Each structure stands twice: as structure tokens, then as C-alpha cells.
Chains A and B, each alone.
Chain A
């Protein structure tokens, strides 16, 4: 259903082409290692959290063909729980992130098992509706602090030892979390499980006829995606020290779709590039006020009409490699 990169092995073989993903990964790691010296670490850490969020979202849309329009649910609720755990329960940051992730995973199991009961466009509407329901729950719940959100969340000491108030240390931790999530997704996509997911994306009926219980595969992918979105949300709460309604409301679900779309749905590096592009735009254009929303809408329209492969997808298509 998505447009895909031409099989690179069909053309001439070369080490460069076959190893394009490895090379891309090395370029990304080097760029992320150097960039704290070039720009604000806090911006980079936020961007990395959103990059992981977008990668988690892309696991569903890009490799199973399921458009979740409610991923803010997992991101936002994990963010709330992690912030609450760190601030009120006084948990250390790694435990707070784990708690947030756990809650997101449970939400993913429940929402996922409901949403996979319908296909295609209904799937998107169901995920959006369930996320909106949990948004209202967040508005009502006492611990979320309503409009104020949970503020001044302490970063604390990693494993009770390493002080995270230092931006450099925090950056290393966020980078490690991001890379771990990224590699996990890479591993999932390239596993036999991932191959079944792609088969479901291409032709679900055929996959069923081959004996695969596609519902189980879809649910598993959904839960993994929710879990990783939860990791991203929890980490964001610890980094920024705030969890608020913005993280759990529908525009956030739209934003993550936009990030993955701009970078390239179904590409490994696309969501990372997309989230950096969108966040940079938001920072640089913040003075424009409501026009930021308009610009996001325009990017949506342009991407869908002219640019469906996204930045990385177009690049990969042009170079005839996989990225």
C-alpha cells in the first residue's frame, strides 16, 4: 500500500549499496555525537525523544500498514506517569521511565486489541477516539494537574548514583535510550516476525491464507509501538521536567504522523530526520503564532500530493538504496 523503494539488489551490487543502512546508521551516530557541541543539548534531547516516538509510530504505519491516529495516548500517558513517579513517588529516573513505559504498554494492549477489530480507515478513527477518551480522563484526573500539568519534575540520579542535572550526562543517557529503541525497531523489522508484518501490510488476506494469525501479529506490533512511544514520552518528561495536556491531546498524534510522513513512511531513518525537521521548524517559527499550525497543514498537503516518499524515501529512491 505504501510506495516502496525499488529493490536495490535488482540493480548492480556493491558493498556501498548493500551496506547503505549500516552507513546511514554510522552517519547518524556521528552526527548525534557531534551535534551537542553545535546546538542546544536540551533541543537535541527533545528532538531525540520525538525521533524515537516517530520511529515507534512508523513501525506500525510503515511496516504493518496500520495508521494509528492516537499515538499521543501512549506518549502523553507515559509522560504523566513517569513525571508523577519521579516527583511524587520519588523514584529514580530509570524506574520512573520504566513505570511510564509499563503503563503505555498496558494501554497499548487494551487499545490495540480493540482497534485491530476493524481495518483500514476505521482503525485510524478508533485509535483517535480512544486517545481522545484518555485525553478527557487526563483532564479529569487529579494527579495530572489539569491545565498546569505536572511541573518541576526532578531529573534525579540515574541508579541513585549519576547526577542527571548536568546537560552532558543527560544527553548521553537520552542518546543511549534513543539508539537502543532505534536498534530494537531495526531488529524487529529485519526479523522473521518483521517479515510477517510486511506480508500483512502487502496482502493481509494472503497472509491469513498462509496460516498466519494476523491479528496476533498486528496486536504484537501495536503493543511494541505503544511501548516505544511510552519510552519516548517518559524520557521526555524526565528531560524537560514537564508533563502536560499538550502531550496527550490529538494535535500531538497529528504531529507524530507529520514527522514520519515528512521523513518518509516505511523508511528506517525517515522518522528521525522528520522529527528534527518539524521540531526545528517549530522552534524557528514559534514567533509566527497560529501560522505554525497553518504551515504544518501545508506541509501535510504538500507531502501527500507531491512527496509521498518523504525526504529519506526520495533520497533512497534517487540513490537506489535502502535507508
Chain B
């Protein structure tokens, strides 16, 4: 072990790792928000609740049916994605012609409902979720100890983020999606079922959030409150990055996680507020956001 700026390297790299992990959740969630906003013109306040539902589903699957981490990683996003599709069909689809603000208010209401119901059944204390055996343990890299699970989370989120980017920017379906974001009427005229695409997009965004939730479950405790605080930080991340660019959302998410981790080492008092301070600075210097286009 050695020291950097008077901080032991183990502590520094440890916080950096936590920062990267938080960053991967920020990236996954802001990515989902950006995709949903692009198609539905709605800021999805329910996103935090969907992230929490992912973790909670994994917890329930383990407790009730004994299904472990790996099945949950597939099942929970599907379940939450389906719930998302139901939400879109029953509630959101009536709002597309209205002001954006109503979408925010409606999804805020839905978030309150989901959080309230979960709190009633699961309380506010965190519920522990045990790691899968296959991912326990870790490696000593010499300058720090790297737990296997954390390495997996970072690798998996990065992969999912990049696959999503590839899907949207480089495939035919993604091209339809981007076209429908620009001009839905014209795309419909070409015979593409835009309303179904919108529904599936929302389901996909919700599934992404749930995927992040399952991955978060073994790191943080599973708690009904875990989504609402995270989503506000993710909003700040989205303001900093701007929602115009998929890659921008991913980079901003990871970068801000790292900055937050470093703040924990050098100036722990500010670790909760640093992202908001960065947001204020970005608003002063580049009001459209780092990757945003001026609306």
C-alpha cells in the first residue's frame, strides 16, 4: 500500500470503485430516462420506483420461490417491464397531447403509490440480499482489494449500456425509434406501428431500471426508499449531461459517479451535494448541458 495526496491507496481506489458502481447505476437510469423521454416526451418520475421494484422482485423471488440472483437478473426486469407496459397502456398514453408537466405529475403519483405499497408490506428498514456464491470473494490487485461482485456490476452495466447504445444508434429497430422520436406521424405513414413502439420503449426503460435494481440489491440493502433518493440525483445527472445523446448519458453517469467517489475521499462532507453543485456550475457555464443541444 502507498499513499496518494496523503490518502492510502486502498481507501482511494476503494472509493473510486464505489464511485464507478454508483456511476453505473446513474448511467443505466439516466439512459432509461433519456430513451423514454425521447419517445414519450415524459420525464419518468416512476423510474426510481421501478429500480426499487427490480430489487424488491429479486428479494421476493429469493424468499418465496428460492430463485437466486441469476434467474432474478432475467425475471425481475421482465416483470417490471411488463408492469411498465401496463402503466403506459392504462395511464401514460392519455397524456401525449398534453403539456410535459402532466407526465411528470402522473409518474410522480405512480411512484408514490408503488413506494407506499412497498413500504406497507416491507417496512422502511433495509432487507439484506445475499450474494450469489459464484460472485463471492475477490482479488488482491496489489494496490487494492477488488471484490468480484463489484467488478461484475461495472462490467455488466457497461455492457448493457453499450448494447443499448448499439441497438439505438446502429440497428434497424433503433433507426425506426430515432425516426419516430423526430417525426412520429411520418413514421406511421410508412406503416410502422408507432404506438406499439412507444409502449415497448417504456417497458424497455422500466426493465433497464429494474436490471440496475437487481444489481444494486446485494450492494445496498433492498429498501422501498432506495429509488426516490436515487432518482433525484439521476435527474441532476440528466440535467448535467442533457438528454439528447445516449453516449453522453452513459459517459456523464460514470464520470459523475467517479467524481462523487473521489469527493468521499478528499472532502466527505460534500459527497452528498457534489453532483448538485456540479449541476449548478454546468448551468452557469453551459446551460444546455454537456452533451445537450439548445432546445
Residues in A lying within 8 Å of B, measured CB to CB = 1-2, 61, 67, 69, 114-115, 117-122, 124-126, 128-130, 132-133, 136-137, 139-140, 250, 254, 257, 261, 289-294, 296-301, 303-305, 308
Assuming the contacts A121-B104, A129-B232, asked whether A2 and B99 have C-beta atoms less than 8 A apart, the reply is yes
Q: Which of A1, A126, A132, A303 contacts B99 (CB 8 A)?
A: A1
Are B232 and A132 touching (Cβ within 8 A)? yes
CB distance from A303 to the nearest CB of B (A): 8
Interface size of B in residues (CB-CB distance below 8 Å): 45
Q: Which of B115, B229, B239, B287 contacts A125 (CB 8 A)?
A: B239
Q: Which of chain A's residues have a CB closer than 8 A to the CB of B120? A: 289-291, 294
Chain B residues at the A interface, C-beta cutoff of 8 Å? 37, 43, 91, 94-95, 98-102, 104-106, 108-117, 119-120, 228-229, 232-233, 235-236, 238-239, 269, 272-273, 276-277, 279-280, 283-284, 287-288, 295
Contact of B239 among A126, A137, A301 (CB under 8 A): A126
Instruction: Chain B residues near A294: list those with CB within 8 A.
Output: 112-113, 116-117, 120
Bound Cα distance A117, B273 (Å): 20
Determine whether the beta carbon of B284 is less than 8 Å from that of A250. Answer: no
CA distance A257 to B109 in the complex (A): 11
Contact A119 B109 (CB under 8 A): no
User: In the complex the two chains form, is B108's CB within 8 Å of A254's CB?
Assistant: yes
The residues of A that contact B43 with a CB separation of less than 8 Å are: 121, 124-125
A304 to chain B, nearest CB (A): 4
In the bound complex, do residue A129 and residue B235 qualify as a contact, i.e. CB atoms below 8 Å apart?
yes
Out of B37, B109, B114, B272, name the residue touching A136 (CB < 8 Å). B272
Which residue on chain A has the smallest CB distance to residue B235?
A125
29 A-B pairs whose Cβ atoms sit less than 8 Å apart in the complex: A1-B99, A115-B283, A117-B283, A117-B287, A118-B239, A120-B295, A126-B279, A128-B232, A130-B280, A132-B233, A132-B236, A133-B276, A136-B272, A139-B272, A140-B269, A257-B105, A257-B108, A289-B120, A293-B112, A293-B119, A296-B109, A297-B108, A299-B109, A300-B112, A301-B91, A301-B110, A304-B102, A304-B109, A308-B98
**Total A-B Cβ pairs within 8 A:** 128
Given contacts A294-B116, A298-B109, A308-B102, contact A114 B284 (CB under 8 A): yes
Main secondary structure of the interface of B (DSSP, over half): helix
Chain A residue nearest to B280 in the complex (CB): A114
On whether the beta carbons of A130 and B100 are closer than 8 Å, the reply is no
A301 and B116 contacting across the interface, CB-CB below 8 Å: no
> How long is the Cα–Cα vector from A298 to B111 in the complex, in angstroms?
10
Taking the closest CB of chain B, its distance from the CB of A110, in whole angstroms, is 9
Question: Are the CB atoms of B283 and A136 closer together than 8 Å?
Answer: no
Does B276 contact A301, Cβ atoms closer than 8 Å? no
Residue of A nearest to B94 (CB): A305
Interface centre among B98, B116, B269, B295 (most CB of A within 10 A): B116
Given contacts A67-B104, A121-B104, A136-B272, contact A126 B116 (CB under 8 A): no
Do A304 and B95 contact each other (CB < 8 Å), given the known contacts A118-B283, A125-B239, A290-B120? yes
Task: Give complex CA distance A117, B289 in Å.
Answer: 11
Cβ contacts under 8 Å, A303 to chain B: 105
* Contacting residues, chain B, for A257 (C-beta < 8 A): 105, 108
Other than the known A121-B37, A121-B43, A304-B105, what 17 A-B pairs have Cβ atoms closer than 8 Å?
A117-B283, A129-B233, A130-B280, A132-B229, A133-B273, A133-B276, A136-B272, A136-B276, A139-B272, A290-B117, A290-B120, A293-B115, A294-B112, A294-B120, A297-B116, A303-B105, A304-B106
- Chain B residues in 8 Å Cβ range of A120: 100-101, 295
Pick the residue among B102, B112, B269 that contacts A296 (CB under 8 A): B112
Q: Which of A130, A261, A297 contacts B110 (CB 8 A)?
A: A297
The interface residues of chain A lying within 8 Å CB-to-CB of B95 are 304-305
B98 proximity list for chain A (CB < 8 A): 308
Does the CB pair B236–A305 fall under 8 Å?
no
Q: Are B104 and A129 closer than 8 Å at their CB atoms?
A: no
Chain A residues within an 8 Å CB radius of B229: 132
Of the candidates B98, B108, B113, the one having the most CB atoms from chain A within 10 angstroms of its own CB is: B108
Interchain nearest-CB distance for A277 vs B (Å): 16
